[in-house]
Amino acid sequence: MTRILLLRHGQSEWNAEGRWQGQSDIALTDLGRRQAFAAAQRLGVVDAIVCSDLRRASDTAQILSEHLGVGPVVVEPLFRERDAGEWSGLTSAQIEQGWPGYLAERRRPERFEPEEHALGRLLQGLDRVASEIGGDEVLVVTHGGLVHALEHHHGLSFERLPNLAGRWVVHHGDRVELGDRLILIDEDLASVPAVI
């Protein structure tokens, strides 16, 4: 059994601008780096740190690693965010203009990565963490879209996931069980738009 904390990265430049990122490789803002440092103050002991290969996640993981003294960080592309397709780089207002009603109806454009595909990647990544990384508790710095896909798969409705918040999961070898959500930073550090 392995407990895994799936943690959303710190604020990125496009989070700050309210732009959908998907798999665009966008850097953290200064606030995002401060968020990661603040989150590190509240994290307990973990045996390993794994992250998405996108910069906003890997930079967050590196800050956490340095503060916690756990490393090296293992980069795993399976934890990469969902591809936002045609919406990458757009604001919600631009999306509403080009795809009226899609956001309210939770519809996605043609090239947006299907949720079941993103979920499959995430589950494969969790299997790798449990079988190859080892340890009782592992931190995985990833993206909101993957956490939402896992929650939806387990019957939960959408709920905003702030930066440096996440969800505990337990990998039992043959199945993944959802644990509690965890918010690691104060609202004054988290008050930024939450977009994929």
Domain boundary assignment for the chain = 2-190
CA dist 90 to 24, 71, 81, 116, Å? Answer: 11, 35, 16, 23
Mean pLDDT of 102-107: 94
Q: Which of 171, 150, 194 is nearest to 181 (CA)?
A: 150
Instruction: Say what the pLDDT of residue 151 is.
Output: 96
Domain 2-190: give its CATH architecture. Answer: 3-Layer(aba) Sandwich (3.40)
Residues marked as catalytic: 9, 81
pLDDT higher than 50, residue 192: no
Instruction: Say what the pLDDT of residue 187 is.
Output: 57
Neighbours of 157 (CB within 10 A): 7
Q: Which residue has the tokens 């996605």?
A: 108
3-state helix vs strand vs coil in the chain, percent to 5: 40, 20, 40
